[in-house]
Structure 1
Amino acid sequence: MKTVSRVINGEPNVSAATIAKVMAAARTLDYQPDLHAGNLRRADGRTRTLGLLVGSVDNPFAGAVHRAVEDVALQHGVAVFASSLDDDPDREQESVDAFLRRRVDGLILTTVTESQAYLAPELRRGTPVVFVDREPAGITSDAVVSDNADGAALATRHLLEGGHRRLAYLGDRPVIQTARERRRGFLEELGRAGVATRGVPVVDGLHDEESARAATIALFDSPNPPTAIFSAQNLVTIGVIRALRELGRHHDTALVGFDDVPLGDLLDPGVTVVAQDPQGIGRAAAERVFARLDGDHSPPVRTIVPTRLIERGSGEIPPRREG
């Protein structure tokens, strides 16, 4: 029986012939190891699992982070339990509690609550916690993020350098940290350029394609519609694209989106974006968790993954002449 246990748990110093016999018998009996029971016997007490909380499975950004985390975890023989936040504070804590009940070895979290101080006891117990996309509040822990304010400033500067002065901002709900940072980057860049921010349309509270589409149409019902739009989230960008095409304004209104959109390079015009690197974010977060599990007790680290401007045409449309 002890030999069978050593084979199932991947312990060393078992001959290849013995491993083959045990695995053949396991297949014949349709045997599946009890992972929870195995945890009780495993010397390091680990479950070989991670908990991953992402913003929304509807968002390609979250999907790319998820895939990158799984790729790294697979290399370590670790499974990933994943849950979707949907930017609901109650759902955040319920998901984290569910992960902890399963005794995951580490957590990678996108969060929305005002404070993550509820995780302080878990940090004291030594559970690695890495935050992705949004930084924690109320505790100090590792985080892997984009520079959201700088990326938004980059998009805004690109439109200003193209000659635009009537810009509009369309963004996500201000309860979300990244949304606040992108709005700040937009407004501060206007100020640096000497463009008065008073009267600049700033429409936030958007969180899906339809709300962004409706907000864009409303902008063009105003007496002085914008010549350029900065859309500060990828689903918002898709809604803006739909509205501009519906109104016939997609060739005379400049658009730069924050974060890439699916098939953005195949549209006419192609969609200019400030692209994040969700694969890089997910990979860095997972590697940080495994470094902690391997004994890295250094102070928490804030890792910034760079953004980059991708010019495809929509952000290079010049200001239209009215009248």
Structure 2
Amino acid sequence: MAASEGSAPTLRDVGALAKVSTMTASRALRGDPKVSAQTTARVRAAAAELNYRRNELARGLRLGRTSGMVGLVVTNLANPFYSQLALGVEAVAASRGMKVVVSNTADRVERECEVVDDLAARRVDGIIVVPAGLEQGHLDPSYLKDIPVVLAARPPVGITADCALLDDFGGARQATAQLVADGHNRIGFLGPPAAWTSAERLRGFRTVLEGAGIALEDALVSCEQRDIATAERVAGNMLDQPDPPTAFFCANSRNTMGVCRAVKRRGLRTAVFGFDDFEMADMLDMSLRIVTYDPEALGRQAAEQLFQRLDEKRAVPGKAAAIARVILPTSIVDYTPAVPTAD
């Protein structure tokens, strides 16, 4: 007896092919020593012939166990930031004997809704989300039948949830303060159209300029660049003005790389300060400083918060600690080549 065409083979199909009961087939596949070696071999041969795979998720749910999985939802898997964040989440999950299901939303809220609903339907134990926008009702744990949710990199809006964030405002403020201290008073700002990170980094930038009495010109601010080529074009337009900026602050690595290209192509010595480190930054041979941080640490922090909620849920159902908002620090690395000193 074979499985129906187009359907997955069942344990009953395996038992029928091996000429044993479904219960005996199950025990044989589990390695039960009470099943004879000959019967076990026959059952395993039948399972191999039918390409049978046990549905561990369904089995676990029948036994009242959890799925053993957590979901991680990010906005752009092509960005190295998110792959490193995922490594941090996976490290913590692995230490707990759990697996991570990673999904990409392409920064679209509607896609995020679909992904989160699907993860909830699959009964994941918890979900970590880098939210795509300000519409977050679908991330509320009460909407998700009390599946714990932790937000990473961007805070909750209109919902109550734990979050792990970077010090976007503080890092931008420190970078801009260094540029002003270097004597720059015409500083261009380039960033992506992100709802939270770019806005916080722009806020840090504005705060320093206002405190220093430096007017912020609209022509020197652009928050629409998602890719390197567009950032290069926008930075080039600023540099080609009659009174160009003497420095740039960039709110993410793509904008930093675009600005560096525009500066290098023109043979200029314009100072560049970026947010987010990137490979080969130390090889560019130009005035370049970067606000950096540890994306894996952010992933680990978000995962630790999620598992803390899971531990609470198992220990005392219905009782939980106060919502936690953890902000991880940034630091600055200077890739500007040293100036040779005269002998």
Both structures adopt the same fold (TM-score exceeding 0.5)? yes
Q: Which bin holds the TM-score, normalised by the shorter protein?
A: 0.7 to 0.9
Q: Does 1:160 align with 2:177?
A: no
Q: Which amino acid aligns with 2:332?
A: L
CA distance in 2, matches of 1:154, 1:42: 54
Deviation of 1:199 after TM superposition, in Å, equals: 5.5
Q: Does 1:212 align with 2:212?
A: no
Query: Retained in 1: the 8 A contact 2:89–2:302?
Result: yes
CA distance in 2, matches of 1:270, 1:97: 47
Q: Does 1:89 align with 2:112?
A: no
Deviation of 1:33 after TM superposition, in Å, equals: 2.7
Greater shift after overlay, 137-146 or 79-88?
Answer: 79-88
TM-score (normalised: structure 2): 0.80
Q: Does 1:277 align with 2:294?
A: yes
1:47 is aligned, of 67, 78, 94, to 67
Deviation of 1:306 after TM superposition, in Å, equals: 0.5
Q: Which stretches in structure 2 are left out of the alignment for 5+ residues?
A: 1-22, 314-319
Query: Retained in 1: the 8 A contact 2:272–2:287?
Result: no
Query: Retained in 1: the 8 A contact 2:219–2:238?
Result: no
Deviation of 1:100 after TM superposition, in Å, equals: 1.5
Query: Retained in 2: the 8 A contact 1:51–1:82?
Result: yes
SS in structure 2 at match of 1:229: strand
Q: Which amino acid aligns with 2:86?
A: H
Deviation of 1:197 after TM superposition, in Å, equals: 2.2
Higher RCO (CA < 8 A, seq sep 6+) = 1
In the other structure, the counterpart of 1:292 is 309
Report which of the two structures shows the higher radius of gyration computed on alpha carbons.
2
Query: Retained in 2: the 8 A contact 1:85–1:110?
Result: no
CA distance in 2, matches of 1:122, 1:270: 50
Q: Which amino acid aligns with 2:304?
A: E
Query: Retained in 2: the 8 A contact 1:142–1:302?
Result: yes
2:128 is aligned, of 108, 121, 124, to 108
SS in structure 2 at match of 1:114: coil
Stretches of 4+ moved more than 4 A in 1? 1-8, 24-31
In the other structure, the counterpart of 1:38 is 59
Deviation of 1:290 after TM superposition, in Å, equals: 1.1
SS in structure 1 at match of 2:140: helix
In the other structure, the counterpart of 2:5 is none
Deviation of 1:224 after TM superposition, in Å, equals: 0.6
CA distance in 2, matches of 1:271, 1:58: 24
* Structure 1 residues 286 and 27: CA distance shift in structure 2, 3 A: farther
Give 1:222-241 correspondences, 5 Å limit: 222-241=241-260
Deviation of 1:49 after TM superposition, in Å, equals: 0.9
Query: Retained in 1: the 8 A contact 2:128–2:303?
Result: yes
In the other structure, the counterpart of 1:140 is 160
Deviation of 1:241 after TM superposition, in Å, equals: 1.5
* Structure 1 residues 49 and 152: CA distance shift in structure 2, 3 A: same
Aligned-residue sequence identity (percent) comes to: 35
Q: Does 1:301 align with 2:324?
A: yes
Deviation of 1:150 after TM superposition, in Å, equals: 1.0
CA distance in 1, matches of 2:120, 2:142: 9
CA distance in 2, matches of 1:58, 1:283: 20
Number of residues of Structure 1 aligned to a counterpart in Structure 2: 302
In the other structure, the counterpart of 1:267 is 284
* Structure 1 residues 136 and 2: CA distance shift in structure 2, 3 A: farther
Query: Retained in 2: the 8 A contact 1:92–1:113?
Result: no
SS in structure 1 at match of 2:286: coil
Deviation of 1:53 after TM superposition, in Å, equals: 0.9
Deviations 1:127-186 (A, max 9, x none): 11000000110101000000111111011011111111111100111x521111111110
* Structure 1 residues 114 and 5: CA distance shift in structure 2, 3 A: farther
Q: Does 1:254 align with 2:267?
A: no
Deviation of 1:87 after TM superposition, in Å, equals: 1.4
Query: Retained in 2: the 8 A contact 1:170–1:204?
Result: yes
Query: Retained in 1: the 8 A contact 2:61–2:67?
Result: no
SS in structure 1 at match of 2:107: coil
Deviations 1:170-217 (A, max 9, x none): 0111x5211111111101111112222245611111111111011011
Query: Retained in 1: the 8 A contact 2:108–2:132?
Result: yes
CA distance in 2, matches of 1:211, 1:160: 26
CA distance in 2, matches of 1:74, 1:186: 39
> Superposition RMSD on alpha carbons, in Å?
2.7
SS in structure 2 at match of 1:294: helix
* Structure 1 residues 6 and 176: CA distance shift in structure 2, 3 A: farther
Deviation of 1:126 after TM superposition, in Å, equals: 2.3
Greater shift after overlay, 69-78 or 31-40?
Answer: 31-40
CA distance in 2, matches of 1:231, 1:115: 26
* Structure 1 residues 156 and 36: CA distance shift in structure 2, 3 A: same
